[in-house]
Amino acid sequence: CKRIIVKIGTSTIMYANGSINLQRLEKLTFVLSDLKNQGKEVILVSSGAVGVGISRLQLTERPKTIPEQQAVASVGQTELMNLYSKFFFGYGQIIGQVLMTRDIVEFPASRLNAINTFEQLLVKGIIPIVNENDTVAVDELDHLTKFGDNDRLSAIVAEITDADLLIMLSDIDGFYNKNPNDEPDAVLFNEIHTITDDLYALAGGKGSSYGTGGMSTKLVAADHILKKSSQMVLANGEDPTIIFDIIAGKEIGTLFS
Residues near ligand ADP (CB under 6 A) are 9-12, 170-172, 175-176, 178-181, 202-204, 206-208, 210-215
SS3 83: helix
Report the residue closest to ligand ADP, judged by CB: 211
Q: Which is nearer to ligand ADP, 46 or 161 (CB)?
A: 46
Q: Which is nearer to ligand ADP, 85 or 212 (CB)?
A: 212
Q: Least separation, in Å, of the C-beta of 145 and ligand ADP?
A: 21
What ranges in the chain are assigned the alpha helix state H?
Answer: 10-13, 22-37, 49-56, 66-90, 102-106, 108-123, 142-145, 150-160, 197-200, 215-227, 242-247
Q: Which is nearer to ligand ADP, 113 or 209 (CB)?
A: 209
Q: Least separation, in Å, of the C-beta of 73 and ligand ADP?
A: 16
What are the residues whose beta carbons fall under 8 Å from the beta carbon of 101, sequence distance 6 or more? 132, 133, 136, 137, 145, 146, 147
What are the residues whose beta carbons fall under 8 Å from the beta carbon of 202, sequence distance 6 or more? 175, 176, 177, 178, 215
Q: Which is nearer to ligand ADP, 172 or 226 (CB)?
A: 172
Q: Which is nearer to ligand ADP, 111 or 206 (CB)?
A: 206
Q: Least separation, in Å, of the C-beta of 110 and ligand ADP?
A: 27
Specify whether the backbone of 229 is left (phi greater than 0), alpha (psi in -120 to 50) or beta: left
Query: How many whole angstroms separate alpha carbon 232 and alpha carbon 145?
Result: 25
Q: Which is nearer to ligand ADP, 83 or 172 (CB)?
A: 172
Q: Least separation, in Å, of the C-beta of 180 and ligand ADP?
A: 6
Angle at 153 between CA 148 and CA 158, to 5 degrees: 165
CB 13 within 8 A of CB 25: yes
Q: Which is nearer to ligand ADP, 88 or 176 (CB)?
A: 176
Q: Least separation, in Å, of the C-beta of 39 and ligand ADP?
A: 28
Q: Least separation, in Å, of the C-beta of 138 and ligand ADP?
A: 22
Q: Least separation, in Å, of the C-beta of 168 and ligand ADP?
A: 8
Q: How far is CA 197 from the centre of its chain?
A: 24
Query: How many whole angstroms separate alpha carbon 74 and alpha carbon 52?
Result: 10
Query: How many whole angstroms separate alpha carbon 9 and alpha carbon 171?
Result: 8
What dihedral angle (degrees, nearest 10) is formed by the CA atoms of 38, 41, 121, 238? -100
